[in-house]
Structure 1
């Protein structure tokens, strides 16, 4: 069985946006949920539109949850 990826969303930067990492690899800086989900799609995660951003054990939010950008 494949291991689930570890997704870490860093706190918002002073200039805006949050750095997104999957398994330690920086995917980029997201400026909102749309950017975040696109990074996950590009990383190969399937059905990201059904991912519960608030409670998913795959995502570690640092410095605020998915409503903080």
Structure 2
């Protein structure tokens, strides 16, 4: 989407793509925050507050948490 385009100017396919990507982002963040809330400090690599803040970074934050932030 370029700077001059508006939502109504997008094709239905691109609108759906944006909505789906937005829902995936929200689902990843909610999953990461719920997982963080259920884990003890010993089950989390690093400070919990840092992972909460990182979860707000689009896609990369929640994915990084699931890849590196949890101890198994």
TM range (shorter): under 0.3
More strand by share: 1
More helix by share: 2
TM-score by length of 1: 0.26
Larger radius of gyration between Structure 1 and Structure 2: 2
TM-score by length of 2: 0.25
